[in-house]
Amino acid sequence: MKTYSFFPCCLLLAVLAAISACTPITHLADSQAGPDTIDTPPDTAAQYEVAEPQQLLEEELSALNQLGSWEEPGKEIPPEEAKVTFDFPITINKQVEFYLDLFQNRQRRYFKRWLARSTRYLPAIQEELKKAGLPRDLAYLAMIESGFNPRAYSRAHASGLWQFIRSTGRNYGLRIDRWVDERRNPEKATRAAIAYLSTLYNEFGDWYLAVAAYNAGEGKIGRAIRRYKTRDFWQLARYRYLRLETKRYVPKLIAAILIAREPKKYGFTDIKYEEPERYDLVKVPPRTDLAAVATAGNTSVKTLKNLNTELLRNQTPPGLSSYTLRIPEGRGEVVAANLKRLHPVITTSFKTHKVRKGDTLTRICRKYGLNKTTLLKANNLHSATLRPGQRLRIPYRTTKYVLLKEGETPESRFAAAGRDGELVLHKIRRGDTLGKISRLYNVPVNIIIQWNDITDVRKIRAGDHLALYLDRGSATRPRLRRQPEPPGPRPETIRCLLRPKNGNRPPLPGTKQSSPTTGCAAVTRYGPSPAGSGYRPRISNAGITCAQA
C-alpha cells in the first residue's frame, strides 16, 4: 500500500471559500454567501431506495403468524454432521424451517439477488468482525436488514447496510446531515454496527438476545427479561410482549446463514456473485466537485457515487480539513496528479420540463428559480401561452472541468480561438462584494476565488479586475436566476481573448501567481501496488516533491 500526498498551497483556497463568502472582510466581503450551492443540490441519483426485506414484510409476517405458537429450539446441528463450521449458534425449529422454505420458494428471486450482492461486501465485513472477536456469521445480519444494499431505507427511517436509525447511528459516530449520510457508508456503518452488537452482547451474554435487541432496542429486551424472568429467547418469543417483527429476526438470520454458507445444498446453483469492492482512497478538500475528480481520473460521476454512497450531493461536504473519497482501483495516482491541472469553467446546461395541465410560466419559473425572460429566450417563445405536453428547455448553471496540459495556463488555453469558453474580466467598483459578483454571474464564490488565486480578499480594491471563465453561451447571459439588480451603475465587464507572449498573466492585486488548480489530494492505495512504483510525493513549501516510499 502506498500513500500519495498532494498539497500545493493554492489548492487550499477551496477551504477558504466558505469563509470568504459569508464573513464580512472589508468592502469585498458579503454577509450572504452568494450562489455557492448552485451546483450542489441534493443528487436525485443518491436518494434512498426502499429496503427489499421491508417490501416483503407484511406478507412474511402474515404467513409466519399462521404457524401458531413458537417452538422450543431443536437440537443444534452436530459438528460432525455439518459440512461447514458456524460461529453463530445454529438451531432448527419450525420457525427456522419456515424461513428456509420462504427463501427457497416465494422469496427466491430476492434471496438470489442478496446472495449475488453479498460477496461485494462480505470480505470487508467479516474481516472487521474477526478483528473485533465477533462471530463472522453476523455479517448476514446485513442481508436480512437491507439485502446488502447500502442505499436501503425502511419505513422506520432506518438506512444503509445495517439499517441504523438516525439517533443510533449518531450515537455510534456516524455523520448524518444534508451533505452525507454515513449510515450508507459500508465501512463506517459496519464499524458502528460491530460496536453496537458488541455492546448488546456484553449486556445480555447471549447472541439470540443481542440480535433481537438490535431490532427492538436493548430497553425492550431488558424489560421482557425482567417481566418473564427468563433469558431464553425462545421462551420470550412465546409471549405477546415482543412484536412478531422482532421475534422473526432470529430464525430469519439462522435460515439466511444456513443457505448463504451452503447455497448449493438449498438449490442456489446459478448465482452470479459480484466482485468485492476494490478502490483507492484519495483525500480531497471540502466541497470538492465530483465532476472534477471524475475528469481527473478519467471516470464518471456515477461510478464515484456508487463507490461513495454516503454522499447526498455531487460535492464532498464542508466542515472538515479534508474528505476521503473512494475512487476506482488504480486511479489514485492519476487523480492526484491531474487535480492540480484542472480548471473549472462555468457553463449552461439544459434539462427538460414537460408542461402539464395547470402549468403556467410563472409557476415553472418559480419551480426552477428562473426569470420569465430567460425561460422565453431559452425556448424561442414569444408569448407566455403554454400547452399540455409541450417540452421546455430549462437552463441551469453547472461547472465543467478542463484538464490543462503541463505548463499550460487558463489564459493560453482560452486564447486558442475561444477554445472551451470565454474569459470575462469584471472590473470591481466601489461597493462590490464577492457575493454580489457571484450572484451577478451566477457563479459560486469559491470558484471566483479559485480562478483568481485569491489568498486575501482584504487586498483587493475597486479598480481591480476579476477573471471569470464562462462558456460562450454563459458569457452572454450572466444571470439565470431571478434576482434584484445590484444598486448603482452596472459593473464594467470586458470580454476578451488573451494571447500572452509568455503564456503567463501578471498576478492580480492581493494575489500571488500559481498554477491553476482545483483541489489537493492524498491517495491511499488498497491492494497490491503496481510493480516499479517506488515513490510518493510529500508536502513542501515550494509545492510537490517526491520521496522514495
Strand partners, 354: 391
Please enumerate, as own/partner, the contacts of 170-178 that have beta carbons within 8 Å and a separation of 24 or more.
172/196, 175/317, 177/317, 178/42, 178/312, 178/313
Closest to 278 in 3D by CA, of 114, 123, 174: 123
- The DSSP H or E segment spanning 228 is helix 218-228
Q: Measure the CA–CA gap between 482 and 375, rounded to whole angstroms.
A: 11
Cell numbers at 352, concatenated: 427538460
Sign of CA dihedral 127, 131, 135, 140: negative
Active site (annotated) includes residue 485? no
Q: Measure the CA–CA gap between 58 and 397, rounded to whole angstroms.
A: 45
**How many Cα atoms sit within 13 Å of 180 on the Cβ side?**
22
- The DSSP H or E segment spanning 282 is strand 279-284
C-beta separation of 290 from 518 below 8 A: no
CA angle 207, 209, 214 (to 5 degrees): 90
- The DSSP H or E segment spanning 57 is helix 57-65
Residue 95 CB coordination number (10 Å): 22
Q: Measure the CA–CA gap between 469 and 437, rounded to whole angstroms.
A: 13
| E strands, 98-168, in order | 152-153
Q: Measure the CA–CA gap between 159 and 167, rounded to whole angstroms.
A: 12
CA 223 to chain centre: 39
Catalytic residue (one of 58, 72, 145, 492): 145
Tally of helices (H runs) and strands (E runs) in the chain: 22, 13
Closest to 437 in 3D by CA, of 35, 18, 12: 35
C-beta separation of 91 from 74 below 8 A: yes
Tell me which residues are annotated as active site: 145
